[in-house]
Chains A and B, each alone.
Chain A
Amino acid sequence: MKKELVKTKILQKREVAPNIFEFIIDADNALRESKAGQFIHIKCGDGVYLRRPISICELFENKLRFLFEVKGEGTRELAENEQGDFLDILGPLGIGFTTNKTYQTPVVIGGGIGIYPLLQVAKEVNPITILGFRNKSLITLEDDFKKVSKDVIITTDDGSYGRKGLVTDSLCEILSKKTVDAIFVCGPMPMIKAVRKIALEHNIFCEVSLEERMACGIGACLCCATKVKSPVVGEDYTYFHVCKAGPVFDAKEVMLDE
């Protein structure tokens, strides 16, 4: 069976926060095989050349939900698509989170627009969820996470909602009371680095979802490199590719510019 390029319909479009859009698309096609943490590679419009990788937020009733922030030309064009329009998509692509194991106390940690790929994870592992935002106005998906988590802790940098402080403060508090056996994280790089450090110190299984500028999305161009500890003896590091070896990596494997 050959993989296929999908042309599929936008069923719903919504601006959930300023410049943040939610699309729900028809996944009664190759997209129904999507797994938590995988991504889709979208032709945004005629004005940009390369596809843009967008993480999968949730799969339900043969529908796929994704959210994105308008950051540049590609996402701006993507946001111009309307309900009923068709999107040209490669996917699902990449390797997602390991959700097919049983965890006692898994923790899902997300920051800002990095929380989107974690909703499907939360649905599958019923975790304690910690979500960090800069301020109250940027909070999204709180109710969605509440429905599928044991507990949801929201932190804001300025204290305008939930707890004031960083997600790592809340994580350390949980670790002082409970034995956590898995951490799934996605967000800004400083946050991923901080969570990874804590996970490694406590010897907790941890998976991180990474982002990198990408071209082909399928492992041919070798553009979306991330530094990993080399499996080859005598070599300190090598580059794996976010589109094919990731976007989800074992925290022990990636170096994140160490």
Chain B
Amino acid sequence: MTPAIRVVDLVKRFGGVTAVDHVSFAVAKGELVSLLGPSGCGKTTTLRCIGGYEPPTSGAVEIGGRIVNDVPVHHRDIGMVFQNYALFPHKSVADNVGFALKMRGVARDERRRRVAEALALVEMPGYEARYPAQLSGGQRQRVALARALIHRPSVLLLDEPLANLDRKLRQSMRVELKLIQEKVGISTLFVTHDQEEALVMSDRVAVMDGGRIHQLAPPSDVYHRPATPFVATFIGETNYLQGRVVTVAAGVATVRTAGDHDVTVPAVDGCVPGRDIAITVRPERIDIARRASAAAPNRVTGTVEFVTYLGASASYRVIVAGGQRLHVTQPLTTDRPPFAEGDTVELSWMPDRGLVVV
């Protein structure tokens, strides 16, 4: 099947600065892909190249199987939502939402009917006569979404659409935006710097940095099987444990940490005996106990240095033998965290939870 969006070897330079550096990816029909990365990683520039707002330096942009490099913005079949919504302040909600239809010469009656339909879709029926200045941030967001969808474009481009909302609203809008996207079935490219947002909403996440895509994978893969150290640190929190490779056998590397613990981890290229490496492990993948069972692999002893109580969970900072610090989070079923500062504990994790960073 032809992908809704295909970007082939896209490069965008501004003067001497390369904002997008040989990026290629595709968005399948009905899929929601997010471009996730820190500011300046090239995600917005990539989106603007697809929308037609920036001419690519080289490479191709395809929408619906057609190369659109030379198609001006107003002839591209897109719907776009901007970070500040960019609603026309001098037009009513109805005229904002119906704008794309007016540009396409749709008759007034038909327009009115479809505006009502679009407003119903974003759960804002009856708001036709209001002006943007009379709406709350969340309502503006909905109107902007209705406006971008009304002409049934083949792709929806979202540029940090939730960034201007407060935290609570942002969390509920994530789910709602995703539900609307699924209901309409529109292929969507979503730019965000908020990893949680990307993980919650996306079918696949493209993690970007320095103008390149580091990994393009479903959220759980990006989280649990980061392809590069950048992905591992950018998505969620993680621990680094320094050590030296002792042996490599059957795809498993044994690593001796600075505190003389031997831990095992899936081997990767470059994992050769005698080499200094780091292992990353997610805080919630580490078990914490007074005494780990003898069967537990990758046992490391340490002392609790600091306890952070978070209500639903607790987070411990543990100094392990050799002086390295590991963070461990643990869901709480009791009123108080079971470990206190100064307690001696044993940490352990399954070998496949670790990841070698060469």
Q: Is B truly associated with A?
A: no
